[in-house]
Structure formats: structure tokens, C-alpha cells
Amino acid sequence: MRANSRAECDAERKKIQQAFLDGASVHATLQALCEMAERNTQEGLQAASHAHNLEPEGLAVLAIGGFGRQVLFPYSDLDILLLFENVRAEQKLEAVLAEFTRTLWDRGFRVSSAARTLEESKRVDRENVEFHLSMMDRHFLTGDQTVYQKLEQKVLPRTEKVYRSFLHEELIKLTKRRLAKYGNTIFHLEPNVKDSPGGLRDFHASTWMRQVAGGTSEIRGADIAERDLALNAVDFISQVRFFLHYQNGRNDNTLTYELQTIAAEESLGIRDGIKRNAAEWMRIYYRHARTLHHQLQRSLSSQSITSHSLWQKLLLAGRPPKIELSPGKPYAIRNGQFDILDFTAFSDRAAVLALLTEAAQTGLELCRHAERTMAYILFHSELPAKNREISWKQLRQILGSDYPGVALRPMQRLGLLTEVLPEFALIDSLVIRDFYHRYTVDEHSLRTIEHLQALAEPSEAHDVPFSTLWKTVERRDLLVLSLLLHDVGKGMPGDNYISGGLDALKIAAQRLHLSPEDEAEVRFLIEQHLEMSATMQRRDVFDPLTVRSFAAVAETRERLQRLCLLTYADIHAVNPEAFTPWRAEMLLQLYLATANLLTHSLDSNRLHAPVEEPLLEQLRALTGCEEPGKIERFLEGFPRRYLGVHSAAEIANHFGLYQSLSIELVQMELTSAPYALSLTLLTADRPGLFATIAGVLTSWGMNIVKAEAFANTAGMILDSFRFTDSSRTFELNPGEIDRFRRNLTEVLLGTTSLQSPLRALEVASTPKIPKVNVETAIKFDDNSSEQCTLLEIVTQDKRGLLYLLASTMARLDCNIEVALVDTEGNKAIDVFYITKKGQKISEVDQTTLLDALQKALI
């Protein structure tokens, strides 16, 4: 058919559209659209020449860009190049070309034309790299063929040679900029099927990269299955793009929620006859998008194609590769990324996890080759898998690291994450429609973790306070597990996704053998994951009542810290604009006020045992104690924090020690905690007790990093210390543990005197120069507690500090009723609730104590 009017063209377009809707293939539809465009271009030029009675000598019309590679969608621009022999030809044909483009516009083509002379084509316009990339896909349409031949044979071979590496670098830059614009993820809830990661542009970009590199458009190193996967993906996403153009009636490539529903109803791109809802259909879309995106990632990570001179080649050959080998390990660090040396070792899951754990600890990613090799091993059965069972102990090493996301990402891509946490599969590529979220649920969940690990080096000022929280948070493993599971309920039937998430946790906890306390903590975080966000948005965060009611939810500062980080991450991962400085201030204010309240209300918030019936029941079962009132007497009067920081099993253990107090006056338990040792001690209260224990630990060369002192109504104290043993005294000489116990007991009973702890320190080691200087701040507060004066000391941490402070207080007859001692890097943050003769500290005594403490700290 000869199309020479808008009506005829429109009729032909309609015919092509109908054929597509009736099931014509992507290939056939593209071909039909291209043929139509080519024919009209040829006729257009012919008609324009005829009208002006001027032959188009010295002009070649070329199809470039999408038109050039014969991939023309219904409303795509018609990219054409008007190539002139010289400036004279361009000037001569000016009127013909005006007529030519007008004709095409009149026939309904959106012409996007560029004009160049052969001379101009010898240079690359550095400001318009996109044009040169579009030139990579070109073919002759009409006009003077000799001009085109000159371009192909004389001009371009030289230009491409000179500018090859420049074009390659620019292409990589443009590609990375495009991917970054879309958050470097394919998992957009409403993706752009052309430009967002996983879209058709990914396929074209990787094709161009290969062409620039070596002239081949084939996927380097890909097997037939991979090539088929990529071609299927292109076919599927092209069908979607056709569908979007026809539905929107314009060049709009956004796969909106509404169009996802229609595409699913029409089973677009699927031939298996199974009806799917929109969420299920989108999972198929993401699968194809993932294929194209992986292919692009591989092209991006391939070696630079810069052509080297002979001299450069010789230099490069002599340069050793940047590789760090670890003896006995089947992997190594090559150019700052982990690579696999012995792939056979990776049939053992233990080796896989060891590599992933090291990645999570160092923040170094797996190189593409390593991930590909691992994928091969995991999915091919030639090497039977060993040690498939992954324990919580192994998993928590990854989750508790500084960079858990660095391991969790490849774990997700390799299917390992769902192997160890099948509950995560419920939200795989899951689209939940709302106005705020930009990513699928699994992507959102992984992003929460990546936002936290990015706090190692915060880029925005409003992220800095949260960076400190991330670096000092306890049980990071539980926080990260909560983030992985906090939204899995969205993939389950029912309206209450939080309760779905809790059900999933129950199953996961059983499988992973999580302790009841760990499970309870994750349960709390999942259950309350919206609470902090809701409080800061709906309540006045400056109102003490809001703070008090929120503190009652959080219970302890440690838990509050985890909840705050979870909230930070959850808001951040909604979309790139969600965590505004405004929100950061609100969240921080709520955290600070609540943390202060929790620290300053320990004394007033005490346990009244008879009302703790569920706990009492649990303790009776754990201890077997049937004596009425005994457990109640033990618990009565402890600060409530005691319940928050100790599990029921630990409390039962403490109760056992309490019962033994009738046999021996000092009871203690020394255990090894992660990265530190832990001492719990029970005895009757007496003046200077806390200082004495701190003194004994110091005299043994131990560095106290955390301590708490609690007392019950009956005057029994329960002190716990966490300390590091940098000389490895106990590890290398286990016999010393008994000697330490004896020494501590004898000092506390007064049968041995305390050796001068600080002198022992001076003998043991030379003081280290601190990396960061912390200014000392000492503050008294008479308002927070009814019975005690609160003393808060923030100062430079150093060996023996706690002993120094506690002994200064003891010397001035100040009794420590409650203590909370903590360390953040080089900063010691100690809070003491103190009394003198059962009363608050008078103003005069406060001045004396302040003076003494300042002198002691010099």
C-alpha cells in the first residue's frame, strides 16, 4: 500500500495495532512499523524533491537510534540523520528538507532529525555523546548512496578508532547516571520499561558496550541458555512497551498500577494460559527485568577497552595484579572485591557463608565473576551440596556485621536468602500499591538494611546522630533480622500484615533455634515497627506525656535504640525523598527525650513483684522454687530496667545465686559474652562496694566497658560488669579464673586488702593516646529521682576510670544506689544515682564531690 496522506497512514497504524492485539509477534509488529516509516521517509524525500524540482544530490538520509536498529514503537520518535556531502549541498537542499520533514510530521511521524556534513562527522561532539551513541545503530534510508558509503568507508572507521575509549567511558558514565536516577534498582512499583534499570535501555546499553569494546553484539561469555533468557526478556518487555504506547496513546513507558491490572487481565506476554493477578504478573516482569539488568551489570564490570600502545602493554604485563590471598581460603581479594580461587570448595555451604560473612564484615563486595561462579555451583548438581543447614549462629554473624547488606544482596540474587529464610520468599518482587512506597516489598526490606550500613559514613548532616546509634547498637543481628521480616506479612493473606509477620517469625525462630529472648526481641521490633513513626507524626514529641507513654513501650534504652534505627531505616527506604531533615529532627527528638527519661527514671520506676504474675510463674517453672514469697522478695524493689535487660532464664539464674547467699556471702558468675567477659555479682550492700569490685577488676588489668548496679528493697545488690581482657589472662591461664574469684571474694569479705589498682595498671601497660578527645562534663540532677541525686559524667574513657570515679564517691561517703555505665568508642557515659546517709546530696557536698571528681580525672 502506498501511504501518502495522514488518513492513510493512520489507517495503516490502526491495522498494525489490530494485528498486534490479535497476537502478532513483537518482531512482526516492529517490522511493520519500521517498513511503514522507511517507506514514508523515502516517499517524503521523493515528493519534496519533486515539488522543488531538485534532486537530492549530496544528501543521504539515515535511520539512527531505535529506528536505526529497526526497533520502532508506535509513538517512538523517528530519529533520522541528514548527512550532507558538504555545506554547499546542505544550503542547496534547505527548502527540500523543510518540505521533507513537514511531510513526515503531516503523516503523523514525530521526526527527530540531526544534520551533519561528512566533515563534521569526523569529530565527536563531546557535549552531545547521546547523538554519537545513537549513530551506532544506523542504516541507509534514501538519498545519495555515495555520501553514505563515504561515511561508512572513510569517515567512521577513523572517528570510531580515535574516539573509541572516550565513547566507552561516556557510555559508562551515562549508564551509571541513568541507573542512579532510578535508585539502582529494578524493583520500582511503577517502573519505566524503557529507562529504569531492567528496562530495554539496559539491553541496548550492554549491546553498545560490547560493540564499542570489540565490535561484537553477542553477549561475551554467555551460554545459549543465557542468550535465550535475554532475548525472551527483550521480547516480553517490548510487548509491554507496545501495550503501554497503545494504551496511553503516546510515548509514555510507565507501567502504572492501572495498566499492570489490565496487563495481568490480558495475560500480556504469557502463553501458559494461567490467569494471574497484577502482583503475580509483575513478578514475571521483574524476572525479565532482572535478566536484562544482570546482563548490563556484567558489561559494566568487564575490563576497560582502552586500547594500549605496545609500551603500555609491556608495562601492564609487568605490573602484578592487586590481589590479597589468605592461606587456606578458597577466595581472595582482587582489586578490592572478593573473587573465587577454587570453585569446587563452594559446594560446601560453610565456605559460601564464610565468604559472605567476610564480605559483611569488611564491606567488600563479591565481584561479578565470584557471584556468577557461585550461582553455577549452587544450581548445578555435579557437585553435591554439603552442610546445607544454616544455623542461627552462622546467620547472625552476617546480620550482626557492620555491612550486612553487602552479603544479603548476593544472597538474595543467588536464592540463598530464601534458603535460609524461606519467609522472605513471600515478598519476592511483591508490588503493594500505595502513594509513598517506590519499591517492591523485598527491595524495600533490603534497602532498610543498606541505609543502616551506610551510616558507617553518613553523607548527610541529618544522618550523623543516627550514625552514632548504629555504631553503638547492641544485638544488631536481631535488628537486621527484624528488618528482613518486618514486612513479610504483606505477602500473606489477611489485612493485618504485622500479625502475619509475627506468624512468620514464629516459624523462622523455631527453624533457626532462636532463644525465647531473641525471638521476643524480634517480635517486639516487628510488632512496634510503626509505633515510633506514628508517635512522632501524631503526637507532640516535645510533650513530656508523649515521651513518658513512649518510654513505657520501649522499656529500655537499648531496645529504644534498636527501634529508633528500625524506624530510621524503614522511613528512609520508602523512597529517596522520604527521610527529610524535618523528619530526622522529629525522630531524633523523640529518641533523645525518651532515652533521657529512661536513664533518669530508673530509680522511680521500680518493680513491685506481686504484680508481675506472668514473670513469677515463668520463674517458678524455671527455678522449681515453691516457697511462697521467696522469688517476690528477691525481685522486690529492683529497677524495672532489670527485667528489660535480663531474660527470664538469666533472672532465674540470678535467683539461684541469691538462694546460695545463705551459704556464701558473695555469689558471682563469670561468663564469656561476645567480644567481652561478663561478671554478675550478688551480695549484701555495703559502703564502697561498687568501687571495690571495679577496683579488683582494674587491678587484674581488666577494662570495664559496661556496668550496672541494682539493689532490691532488702538491700541485696546485683552488680554486673562487662569487661575486656586485652592481655588474655583468663584465656591463656584458665587457672587464673579461680584465683580471680577467690581474690574478689576475699576483698569483698575484707580478709584481703585491695591492691592499689591504678598502680597495677601503670605497671601493666603504658597509657594509650586517645584517638578522639572527649571533653569532661559532670552534671548533678536533683529533680529526676525522689530519693537520689543523679550524677551524670561524660568523659574520656581510660583504664581504671570506673574505679577512679566510684572510689572518689566512696571516699566522700556517697553511696551508689543505681549505676549505668556505658562506653561509646573513646567516650565513657556514666550515670550514678547516689545518696549520702540515705539522703540526696546537698549542694555543699555536690561542690566538694565535683571538685574531687575533676581532680581525679586530670
Partner 1 sequence: MKKIEAIIQPSQFNSVKDALLEIGVEGMTVTEVRGHGRQKGHTEVYRGREYTLDLLPKVKIEMVLPDQRVEQAVEAILKAAKTGKIGDGKIFLSTVGDAIRIRNGEHGESAL
- Taking a C-beta distance cutoff of 8 angstroms, is the pair 223, 315 a contact? no
Nearer to partner 1, 266 or 460 (CB): 460
Nearer to partner 1, 81 or 547 (CB): 547
Q: Is 589 in the site for partner 1 (CB under 8 A)?
A: yes
- Taking a C-beta distance cutoff of 8 angstroms, is the pair 37, 58 a contact? no
Residues of span 596-615 touching partner 1 by CB under 8 A: 596
Which of 621, 608, 674 shows the shortest CA–CA distance to 652?
Answer: 621
- Least distance to partner 1 from the beta carbon of 777, Å? 4
Of positions 586, 802, 816, 841, contacts partner 1 by CB under 8 A:
586
Among the residue ranges 145-153, 375-383, 512-520, 541-549, the one whose residues contact partner 1 (CB under 8 A): 541-549
- Least distance to partner 1 from the beta carbon of 596, Å? 6
- Least distance to partner 1 from the beta carbon of 108, Å? 25
602 to each of 385, 710, 800, how far by Cα in Å? 52, 10, 25
Where do runs of H (alpha helix) occur along 249-277?
Answer: 257-265
- Least distance to partner 1 from the beta carbon of 782, Å? 16
How many residues belong to the chain? 858
Sheet holding 827-835, edge to edge: 666-673, 676-684, 716-724, 703-711, 815-824, 827-835, 789-796, 777-781
Q: Is 792 in the site for partner 1 (CB under 8 A)?
A: yes
Among the residue ranges 73-81, 479-487, 586-594, 739-747, the one whose residues contact partner 1 (CB under 8 A): 586-594
Among the residue ranges 230-238, 368-376, 585-593, 729-737, the one whose residues contact partner 1 (CB under 8 A): 585-593
Nearer to partner 1, 596 or 729 (CB): 596
- Taking a C-beta distance cutoff of 8 angstroms, is the pair 77, 110 a contact? yes
Q: Is 46 in the site for partner 1 (CB under 8 A)?
A: no
Q: Is 857 in the site for partner 1 (CB under 8 A)?
A: no
Of positions 177, 271, 393, 538, contacts partner 1 by CB under 8 A:
538
Q: Give the residues across from 255 on adjacent strands.
A: none
Which of 3, 133, 21, 137 shows the shortest CA–CA distance to 70?
Answer: 137
> Going by C-beta distance under 8 Å and a sequence separation of 6 or more, which residues neighbour residue 245?
73, 74, 75, 76, 251, 252, 253
Nearer to partner 1, 125 or 543 (CB): 543
Secondary structure of 769-815 as H, E, C letters: CCCCCCCCEEEEECCCCCCCEEEEEEEECCCCHHHHHHHHHHHCCCE
Nearer to partner 1, 425 or 774 (CB): 774
- Taking a C-beta distance cutoff of 8 angstroms, is the pair 402, 363 a contact? yes
Among the residue ranges 59-67, 582-590, 680-688, 742-750, the one whose residues contact partner 1 (CB under 8 A): 582-590
Where do runs of H (alpha helix) occur along 107-223?
Answer: 129-134, 145-150, 156-181, 200-214
Q: Please tell me the distance from the alpha carbon of residue 813 to that of residue 809, in angstroms, as a whole number.
A: 6
Nearer to partner 1, 209 or 536 (CB): 536
Q: Please tell me the distance from the alpha carbon of residue 77 to that of residue 111, in angstroms, as a whole number.
A: 6
Of positions 592, 684, 760, 812, contacts partner 1 by CB under 8 A:
592
- Least distance to partner 1 from the beta carbon of 539, Å? 5
Nearer to partner 1, 322 or 771 (CB): 771
Q: Is 553 in the site for partner 1 (CB under 8 A)?
A: no
Of positions 94, 540, 617, 843, contacts partner 1 by CB under 8 A:
540
- Least distance to partner 1 from the beta carbon of 148, Å? 46
- Size of site (CB under 8 A) for partner 1: 29
- Least distance to partner 1 from the beta carbon of 571, Å? 13
Provide the angle, in degrees to the nearest 10, between the axes of the packed helices 557-572 and 531-538. 80
Nearer to partner 1, 7 or 534 (CB): 534
For residue 653, what is its C-alpha cell? Answer: 539464674
CB atoms within 10 A of CB 228: 12
- Taking a C-beta distance cutoff of 8 angstroms, is the pair 202, 269 a contact? no
Q: Is 826 in the site for partner 1 (CB under 8 A)?
A: no
SS3 35: helix
Among the residue ranges 434-442, 580-588, 641-649, 693-701, the one whose residues contact partner 1 (CB under 8 A): 580-588
| Displacement of CA 163 from its chain's centroid (Å) | 38
- Least distance to partner 1 from the beta carbon of 282, Å? 30
Nearer to partner 1, 499 or 796 (CB): 796
Q: Is 595 in the site for partner 1 (CB under 8 A)?
A: yes
Handedness of CA 797, 800, 806, 808 (dihedral sign): negative
Nearer to partner 1, 630 or 827 (CB): 827
Q: Is 580 in the site for partner 1 (CB under 8 A)?
A: yes
Nearer to partner 1, 538 or 855 (CB): 538
For residue 55, what is its C-alpha cell? Answer: 534532486
Q: Is 824 in the site for partner 1 (CB under 8 A)?
A: yes
Q: Is 653 in the site for partner 1 (CB under 8 A)?
A: no
Residues of span 508-537 touching partner 1 by CB under 8 A: 536-537
Q: Is 588 in the site for partner 1 (CB under 8 A)?
A: yes
Q: Nearest-5° angle of CA 715, CA 721, CA 726?
A: 155
Of positions 139, 368, 511, 827, contacts partner 1 by CB under 8 A:
827
Q: Is 490 in the site for partner 1 (CB under 8 A)?
A: no
604 to each of 301, 597, 638, 642, 708, how far by Cα in Å? 60, 11, 10, 13, 16
Of positions 829, 841, 849, 853, contacts partner 1 by CB under 8 A:
829
Nearer to partner 1, 540 or 664 (CB): 540
Of positions 311, 379, 435, 582, contacts partner 1 by CB under 8 A:
582
Provide the angle, in degrees to the nearest 10, between the axes of the packed helices 544-554 and 531-538. 180
Provide the CB-side half-sphere exposure for 617 (13 A, CA).
Answer: 4
- Least distance to partner 1 from the beta carbon of 591, Å? 8
Percentages of the chain per state (helix, strand, coil), in multiples of 5: 55, 15, 30
- Least distance to partner 1 from the beta carbon of 116, Å? 39
Q: Is 798 in the site for partner 1 (CB under 8 A)?
A: no
Nearer to partner 1, 230 or 793 (CB): 793
- Least distance to partner 1 from the beta carbon of 538, Å? 6
- Least distance to partner 1 from the beta carbon of 757, Å? 25
> Going by C-beta distance under 8 Å and a sequence separation of 6 or more, which residues neighbour residue 254?
190, 191, 192, 193, 244
Residues of span 443-472 touching partner 1 by CB under 8 A: 465
Q: Please tell me the distance from the alpha carbon of residue 62 to that of residue 74, in angstroms, as a whole number.
A: 19
Q: Is 821 in the site for partner 1 (CB under 8 A)?
A: no
- Least distance to partner 1 from the beta carbon of 561, Å? 12
Q: Please tell me the distance from the alpha carbon of residue 531 to that of residue 550, in angstroms, as a whole number.
A: 9
Q: Please tell me the distance from the alpha carbon of residue 690 to that of residue 667, in angstroms, as a whole number.
A: 15
- Least distance to partner 1 from the beta carbon of 252, Å? 17
Q: Is 593 in the site for partner 1 (CB under 8 A)?
A: yes
Residues of span 746-785 touching partner 1 by CB under 8 A: 774-775, 777, 779
Q: Is 819 in the site for partner 1 (CB under 8 A)?
A: no
DSSP track, 686-747: -TTHHHHHHHHHHHTT-EEEEEEEEE-TTSEEEEEEEEE-TT-HHHH-THHHHHHHHHHHHH
| Greatest Cα-to-Cα distance within the chain, rounded to the nearest angstrom | 121
- Least distance to partner 1 from the beta carbon of 588, Å? 7
Q: What is the binding site for partner 1 (CB under 8 A)?
A: 465, 536-543, 580, 582-583, 585-586, 588-589, 592-593, 595-596, 774-775, 777, 779, 792, 794, 824, 827, 829
